[in-house]
Amino acid sequence: MNALAFAWRSLVRQPARAVLGVLGVAAVGALLLDMLLLSEGLVSSMRDLLDHSGFDLRITATDSRPGAGPRIEAAARAAAEIAALPSVRSAVALRFVDARVERADGTIIEAALQGVSEGPARPLTVLRGREIQQPGDVLVNETLARDAGLAPGSPLVLRAACTSDAEILPRITVTVSGTAEFPFETPGESIVAGSLGTLDEACGQSGAGEADLVLVASQGDAAAAAAAIQAARPDLHTVTNDELIGQFQASGFTYFRQIGAVLTTVTVTFALLLITVLLTVSVNQRLGQIAALRALGLSRRRVVSDVFFESVLIVGIGGALSLPLGILLARWLDGILKRMPGIPVDMHFFVFDPAALAMHALLLAVTALAAALYPMQLVARLPIVTTLRNEVVS
Amino acid sequence: MNGSPPRRAAAPWRPRQATARTAVVLAIAASASLGLVSGAQEPVLPEVLLSRQLAAAEGLQPGDVVQLAPDADGAGTRPFRVAGIYEPVPDPAQLGSLPRNVRLHLPDLLELTRRPGAPVGTEHVATINIAVRDPADAERVAEEINRRMPGVAARPAADATGSAATFRVLQRFHLAIALVTIVASTVFLLALTIMLVDERRETVGVLRLIGLPVRRILVQVSLEGLLIAGAGGLFGLGLAVMSEALINAYFQWRYDTALLFVRITPSVAATALVIAVPLGAAATVAASWALMRRNALRLARR
Amino acid sequence: MSAHAGDIIVQAAGVSRVFRMPAGPVTAVDDVTLQIAAREHMAIRGPSGCGKSTLLHILGCVDTPTSGTLRFGGRDVSRLPDAERSLLRLRSVGFVFQRFFLLPMLTAAENVELPQAEAGVARRERQRRSRELLEFVGLGRRADHRPSQLSGGEMQRVAIARALANRPGLLLADEPTGELDGATGEQIAQLLDRVNADGTALVIVTHDEALAGRARRILSMRDGRIDRETRR
């Protein structure tokens, strides 16, 4: 009987404690997996969203967030100039303002109005109807279409709020050409997207021709495209998707990485301590047997490896169980965190990553070894004669 | 970000103040030498306060002269003297970013950011912070202001939306993590108590053989469980207090902030003990209960 | 290990064993010289604390003498490293304990297989050998029972079978009937006689006068020394 089979028999002999030990590791392992996923999940999800939009560079007037700093002037011309660069595939300018959509019954829906310049690609996906083709055409998201009872061809009355000054701009009526999905829309948000001209009209020509942001798709080399844009337009601020992710990692996402690291440490320590105690108590209850086996000629290595394999079995089986448990737990926790305001519908905090799974396995393996160290040492140093004598005396 | 406009919070967007903040970054570095020259002549300049982080980043000290501009292109710069360095109130929503802030007297800020040609007195401020004598009165005062001044929106600070909603979600998230930890701990606790109770099976068997009723033994086991759980709970609390100090020290150093990340209040401590102690005692009783149901003779036999 | 009667298996020359205690050193075995021949049947008796179990452990290479020389099969094993002593015990010495020390999670057959597996015996061979040994000790039908399903006497018989698993030349028994009643103890004594008759040297430490009386050579110990030797 090899050491693994022996360890299995030892565990099975005490089914209650073995099952509880395995379940405990499963619960802790699930939490560990989730914290590893959380560490990089948001970054990974953000990267996916940015890449999925089809644009890999963002240009603003300054290093402020789009909408928080000054706008790019003559944005359509700037976009065309950038699109003409050899390393750029396409460029589109966007401006964002708040708006109020009036329902047929006179009630108001707060919405976001965005103006998009013409170009071969836009940061949206048409779901129903058609693209914006003529002046006055707008696309709305499914939330607004549902709430306002809109369909392709419906008229839409809205009033924009374009500056910080107290002002009342006139209503404009536009036509819904279709519904679309916007990559960064948040749950419950209402979005209207039209041409830059439509937005200028809604804003009473205030800030006409300006944009908050120009999105750029490179020919494949974002860094080269960024350098070319910087050379052509040094007055503008260019950032690649990778650089943007880096900024988010340094600021907004840092909390989740930190809490992921803290909880990873806590769960590993927790599991380590408890498995060590489990094994140590188990070994202490069997000292007589172990001493007898040593007296019969079983080597020190053999009895030590028996203890090691017990740890491997508890952690291994518990670790395997922790995977489906961790996935379920991640879904629950993701659901909680996605209720944070401003989180896009398609962004997730927990994203499955093979690297996280590998790290999970590695940490559990190290935990199994480390937890077995003390009981292994107890067994290795067991004084045979004294133990046998104590067993008789007791 | 593309595809969706940034949602504006309840406070109106303040482009000029945001720009002023940004412009400081551009202007300060260039103006230090000017400040030294100007300092020799010591004109009477309006004063500003710099956040500690900004002062450290730019190597500025009280007495230095800085140039502030409302626009990124540096147009309209005006000199100010640094009167002091202040520690900004830590904002959890700004975690990770260094607060590079300048505080001006309101008339100076309005003067700096007034549009050319705009008459004095036509400026506006976004927010007025009010400290009421009795904080419990905040809601009533807000209602009174709203009633008397239709052009403003007053609300108690505790009702702030946006970032508060974020922290409510985080609170729920932490609670979920705590629940999972408690479940895992309970499972392990049960495993340990089963093992520890098993060590005493012979004693329990003998006690039952000599006539002690099961209830009597269970009461003793419960008391022991309560004692051990109580001691364990207090030890855990001590460990938590030590961890609190370590975690706060580390993250305050890491983010250069005075924010508290972990705070063990009497309520939190009480909740932890209320959960831990009965759990520990219950685990001991549950483990012993299984033992009590077995034949006393078998228990006593080694 | 095959040996002819008269071949010396173990030779102890002036062995002593001193235990360092907080209250001062305790000499458990004091300058003992003896030889154990193949097929010998020896009993060691004496009052409690006289050092008989300690002497047994030294003879079986479980413990090492503080001074003196111990030879096993002609080889000086006094200062052997632990790994080599384990190997020696595995192949050449069988132990039977007062408390049996069977592994509760293994069946009787599996308990007997364990030392064979450690010695590298092939699975089929060790299963055959285990059944054979259990038949020898009269428990052929209980091979698949666990220790909790056996009586005290049956457990000790399994322990004897386990001790014989690797065909040792020497079987050491420390109070083998200590936990058994009279009738069961007699059964064990008869079994041990058969083991010895089958060719295995037998050294028994015991308080049991009847058990000691079955030996052909009886050593009486007192205060760590051999006080008297009787042969019949």
- What residue segments make up the domains of chain C, in order of their start? 8-102+160-231
Q: How far is C169 from chain A (nearest CA, A)?
A: 14
Distance CA(B58)–CA(B244), nearest Å, equals 33
Q: Which pLDDT score, from 0 to 100, does residue C9 have?
A: 93
CB atoms within 10 A of CB B130: 12
Burial of A230 (0-12, 13-18, 19+ CB in 10 A): middle
The ipTM, to two decimals, is 0.82
Cross-chain CB nearest to B184 (options A24, A55, A340): A24
pLDDT at B3: 38
Judge whether A380 is closer than 8 Å to chain C, CB to CB: no
Diameter of chain B by CA atoms?
103
- Residue at A281 is within a domain: yes
Chain A residue numbers touching B6 (CB-CB < 8 A): 65-68, 96
List the 136-165 stretch of A: residues with Cβ below 8 A of B. Answer: 164
Residues in chain B within 8 Å Cβ distance of A260: none
Q: Kindly report the nearest CA distance between residue B41 and chain A, in angstroms.
A: 35
Query: Looking at the structure, do residues A86 and A202 belong to the same domain, yes or no?
Result: yes
pLDDT exceeds 50 at position B15: no
CA C103 – CA B226 distance, rounded (Å):
35
Q: What pLDDT score does B41 carry?
A: 56
Q: Which residues of chain C have pLDDT under 50?
A: 1-2
Residue A88 and residue A201 in one domain: yes
How far apart, in whole angstroms, are the C-alpha atoms of residue A160 and residue A77?
24
Same domain? A73 vs A181: yes
Per the structure, the complete domain to which residue A263 belongs is given by 3-50+252-393
| H helical segments located in chain A | 3-13, 15-52, 75-83, 142-148, 196-202, 222-232, 241-250, 254-284, 287-296, 300-337, 354-380, 384-393
Q: In this complex, is the C-beta atom of A288 within 8 Å of any C-beta atom belonging to chain B?
A: no
Which of C95, C114, C117 minimises the CB distance to A295? C95
Contact C92, A299 (CB under 8 A): no
What span, in angstroms and rounded, lies between the C-alpha atoms of A74 and B289?
A: 80
Same domain, A306 and A208: no
A160 and A127 both lie in a single domain? yes
Reduce the secondary structure of chain B to three states and give it as a string: CCCCCCCCCCCCCCHHHHHHHHHHHHHHHHHHHHHHHHHHHCCCCCEEEEEHHHHHHHCCCCCCEEEECCCCCCCCCEEEEEEEEECCCCCHHHCCCCCCCEEECHHHHHHHHCCCCCCCCCCCCCCCCCCCCCHHHHHHHHHHHHHHCCCCCCCCHHHCCCHHHHHHHHHHHHHHHHHHHHHHHHHHHHHHHHHHHHCCHHHHHHHHHCCCCHHHHHHHHHHHHHHHHHHHHHHHHHHHHHHHHHHHHHHHHHHCCCCCCCCCCHHHHHHHHHHHHHHHHHHHHHHHHHHHCCCHHHHHCC
- Closest partner residue to A70 among B19, B176, B192, by Cβ? B19
Confidence band, pLDDT 50/70/90 cuts, at residue B163 = low
Report the C-alpha gap between A191 and A96 in whole angstroms.
Answer: 10
- Residue contact A113–B95, C-beta within 8 A: no
Report yes or no on A55 lying in a domain. no
Q: Residues near A11 by Cβ (< 8 Å), separated by ≥ 6?
A: A18, A310, A313, A314
The secondary structure of residue A340, as a DSSP letter, is: S
Does A141 map to a domain? yes
A211 shares its domain with A155: yes
pLDDT given for residue B161 in this prediction: 52
Asked if pLDDT for residue B2 goes beyond 50, the answer is no
Residue B9 has pLDDT above 60, yes or no: no
Tell whether A131 is covered by a domain. yes
SS3 A341: coil
Extract the residue ranges of chain A whose pLDDT is less than 70.
164-167, 252, 393-394
pLDDT given at position B218:
83
Strands B102-104 and C8-21, bridge-based pairing: unpaired
Residue B72 — pLDDT band, cuts 50, 70, 90? low
pLDDT digits (tens, 9 = 90+) for A69-79: 788 988 989 99
DSSP C169: S
pLDDT classification of B93: cutoffs 50, 70, 90: low
Residue with the bigger pLDDT between A194 and B9: it is A194
Q: Which chains touch B (3 or more CB pairs under 8 A)?
A: A
Verify that A225 and A265 share a domain, yes or no: no
Residue A241 falls inside a structural domain = no
Give the burial string for B264-302 (b: 16+ CB within 10 Å, else e): eeeeebeebbeebbebbbbbbbebbeebbeeebeebbee
Residue of B nearest to A62 (CA): B72
Single pTM value for the model: 0.77
CA angle A303, A316, A364 (to 5 degrees): 100
- Fold designation for C8-102+160-231: Rossmann fold (3.40.50)
C194 to each of A379, B127, C187, C202, how far by Cα in Å?
Answer: 35, 103, 11, 10
Per-residue pLDDT band at B105 (split at 50, 70, 90): very high
- C113 touching A, CB under 8 A? yes
The answer, for A281 touching chain B at a CB cutoff of 8 Å, is: yes
Into how many domains does chain A fold?
2
Looking at the predicted structure, is the pLDDT value of residue B126 above 80? no
pLDDT score at B4:
39
For B244-251, the CB contacts below 8 A with 24+ separation are B247/A262, B251/A258
Q: Is C117 on the interface with A (CB under 8 A)?
A: yes
B273: amino acid identity, one letter: L
- Could you tell me the sign of the dihedral formed by the alpha carbons of B51, B53, B56, B58, in that order? negative
Instruction: Compute the nearest-CA separation of C232 from chain A (Å).
Output: 30
In this prediction, residue C48 carries a pLDDT of 87
Statement: residue B16 has pLDDT above 50: no
Q: Are residues A81 and A201 in the same domain?
A: yes
pLDDT in tens, B210-268: 777 788 888 888 888 888 889 989 999 999 999 899 989 988 888 888 888 889 999 99
Residues A109 and A44 reside in one and the same domain: no
Q: What is the pLDDT of residue B36?
A: 46
Which of A1, A289, A384 is nearest residue C62 as measured by Cβ atoms? A384
